[in-house]
């Protein structure tokens, strides 16, 4: 197979709570839109049933005591001491199936990594994955198990050299911290500045320690950054870093909480910038594991990840969303009948300063970090 799409109907059976911004149902909505476009019957592509990760696989990164607590909380009841592990009301609620959800998402990411590493697929996409904030012993930012880290650890065990590229609006702090002192993983995160958004990290000076110095790359963008600034920052840094590092496999997180209408962030991307970023990542990846990520306007999630899957399969989709889909799912915020957004450019009085800030960050990466990255092989 050329491409593999990891999915389970069980993804949408979990719920963080009625008022929580992360809605697992968005995954079912995405799956249904992709299906209505006929993208699961393409030659060379395969729909793969997601399987839960085993506990020993989760322990590739996570502490056993934390996993034990997460298992004990699976019935949806808060346990004494859970707060010390980041569990509780707010971002990381204890809900029924919390351990099963985490194991299933992570299992799909492990399957994607295995399919790509073995050569069974050149690209594998787990839209449920990309939960990049979780720490080894605690939940953080809606994330209980850090599936990107577990998947990357599985590849490191096989001797692979991995680059991780994250375009979510939030800094990939959990992934960065996991590999901050190694040169076997190059982590790159393009995100809204931590001065304005959770988790308050991801500044350009955070570049790794010891053997890992230069292998953590952060490209923070000012609030209101649009496609133009995002793509400038990406094009001027990421391909050069990947070329220098020469990974065996690229793992990417394709969060779409960076869009104009997302309720939790302050960036102004559209499907236009997002799709160009996906094409750039595709073209520079020798083998590619693609993961989902953030996205709290669920219509944006469905449209963007449908477009991403089409790009992975070299398909140009018609812009008109299938009418039967719109009739069935109109209540989920589809603002018009189009798959793609209109072009958006930030033209406020601060645009020149925003551009100057991004250019300064790009220079820092190119002059201070890129020379430290050494070729593999």
CA distance 247 to 287: 9
Q: Give the active site residue among 133, 170, 171, 191.
A: 133
What is the pLDDT at residue 1? 64
**29-32 contacts at long range (C-beta below 8 A, 24 or more positions apart):** 29/298, 29/299, 29/301, 29/302, 29/329, 29/332, 30/127, 30/301, 30/302, 30/305, 30/306, 31/7, 31/127, 32/302, 32/325, 32/329
Class of domain 3-372: alpha beta
Q: Would you state the pLDDT for residue 155? A: 98
Strand order in 123-126's β-sheet?
A: 45-49, 3-7, 123-126, 288-291, 249-253, 162-166, 185-192, 216-221
pLDDT at 109: 99
Report, as ranges of residue numbers, the positions in the chain whose pLDDT lies below 70: 1, 376-377
pLDDT at 335: 81
Q: What angle do CA 115, 186, 117 make, to 5 degrees?
A: 15
pLDDT tens-digit series, residues 226-257: 999 999 999 999 999 999 999 999 999 999 99
Q: What is the pLDDT of residues 76-89, one digit of tens each?
A: 999 888 999 999 99
Has 133 been annotated as catalytic?
A: yes
CA dist., res. 145 & res. 135, Å (int)? 8
Residue 299, preceding bond cis, omega within 30 degrees? no
Q: DSSP readout, 214-274?
A: TSEEEEEE-TT-BHHHHHHHHHHHHHHHHHHH--SEEEEE---TTBTT-SS---BB-HHHH
pTM of the model: 0.97
Residues 182 and 215: beta-carbon distance below 8 Å:
yes
Q: Provide the pLDDT for residue 376.
A: 66
pLDDT of residue 110: 99
Report H helices in the chain. Answer: 25-36, 55-58, 64-72, 98-118, 147-156, 173-178, 227-245, 271-284, 298-312, 323-329, 351-364
Largest CA distance in the chain: 56
């Amino acid at each position: 197979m050329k491409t593999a799409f990891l999915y389970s109907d069980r993804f949408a059976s979990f719920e963080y709570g009625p008022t929580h911004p992360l809605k697992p149902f968005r995954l079912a909505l995405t799956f249904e839109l992709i299906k209505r476009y006929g993208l699961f019957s393409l030659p060379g592509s395969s729909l793969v049933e997601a399987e839960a990760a085993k506990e020993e696989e989760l322990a590739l990164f996570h502490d056993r005591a934390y996993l034990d607590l997460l298992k004990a909380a699976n019935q949806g009841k808060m346990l004494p001491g859970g707060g010390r592990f980041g569990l509780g009301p707010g971002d990381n609620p204890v809900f029924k199936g919390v351990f099963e959800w985490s194991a299933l998402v992570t299992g799909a990411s492990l399957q994607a990594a295995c399919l790509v590493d073995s050569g069974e697929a050149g690209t594998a996409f787990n839209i449920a994955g990309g939960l990049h904030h979780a720490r080894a012993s605690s939940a953080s930012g809606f994330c209980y198990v850090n599936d990107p880290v577990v998947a990357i650890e599985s590849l490191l065990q096989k001797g692979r050299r991995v680059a991780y590229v994250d375009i979510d609006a939030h800094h990939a702090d959990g992934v960065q911290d996991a590999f901050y002192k190694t040169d076997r993983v190059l982590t790159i995160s393009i995100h809204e500045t931590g001065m304005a958004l959770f988790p308050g990290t991801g500044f350009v000076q955070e570049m790794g320690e010891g053997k890992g110095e230069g292998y953590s790359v952060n490209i923070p963008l000012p609030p209101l950054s649009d496609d133009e600034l995002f793509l400038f920052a990406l094009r001027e840094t990421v391909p050069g870093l990947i070329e220098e590092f020469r990974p065996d496999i690229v793992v990417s997180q394709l969060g779409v909480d960076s869009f104009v209408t997302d309720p939790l962030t302050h960036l102004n991307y559209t499907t236009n910038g997002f799709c160009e970023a996906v094409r750039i990542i595709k073209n520079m990846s020798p083998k590619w594991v693609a993961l989902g990520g953030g996205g709290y306007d669920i219509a944006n999630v469905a449209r963007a990840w449908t477009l991403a899957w089409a790009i992975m399969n070299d398909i140009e989709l018609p812009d008109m969303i299938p009418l039967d889909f719109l009739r069935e799912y109109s209540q989920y915020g589809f603002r018009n009948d189009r798959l793609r957004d209109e072009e958006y450019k930030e033209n406020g009085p601060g645009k020149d300063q925003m551009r100057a800030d991004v250019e300064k960050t790009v220079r820092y990466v190119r002059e201070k970090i890129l020379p430290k990255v050494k070729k593999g092989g």
